[in-house]
Chains A and B, each alone.
Chain A
């Protein structure tokens, strides 16, 4: 079973602060994905990281895949209220099957 542990479970910060959330596992993955889910909506894919040590940037969001491909982090610079949501990491299928999700980090950015 590919168990993905995300931390922290909840995070509440002020606008303008920086933050990092984590996704850890004892398993090695061929890739990991990060999704953001807003209330009342389905998850939306933000990024896929594939190579160990890879860093990808999406505006103020920086995603890193661990060297051993067992963990990943998401760093947000100068958070804004629009960043509020549930951030999920997921291990996509290696073949044709399911993706497995962590329980997510609920981020609240206060204006």
Chain B
């Protein structure tokens, strides 16, 4: 597609529910990133894929967070047993190659609210 597409755009979950957030990167982009953005703050790194390989998951805040990209294109971020502190915007970004010099293109994000 022309840009990075994320769904759902908005998700309200009750505490304890599991949620799944989807990212469709730009076609052919090798690298895919997930970031978490709290209100009024900058994006915080969660995890990074190069094709289907998850090369860095150092930013995942707990073992309740899990991400996958099984075929090297679409990625899903899953949060189990959601807590109120998980409320944030989850941004997905893709990059054409592995090189940091290439442009990072972000999606519009998925806003998660945990009640």
- Residues of chain A touching chain B, judged by Cβ–Cβ distance below 8 Å, are 4, 6, 40-45, 88, 90, 92-104, 106
Contact = CB atoms under 8 A, between A and B. Distances in A.
Interface residues of B, number: 27
Interface of A is mostly: loop
B43 A43 contact: yes
Given A41-B108, A42-B108, A96-B99, A104 B41 contact: yes
Top 8 A-B residue pairs of the complex, sorted by shortest distance between their CB atoms: A42-B106, A93-B100, A101-B42, A96-B98, A98-B45, A92-B100, A103-B42, A101-B43
Interface of B: 4, 31, 33, 35, 40-45, 48, 50, 55-56, 59, 91, 93, 98-101, 103-104, 106-109
A45 B107 CA distance: 12
Nearest to A98: B45
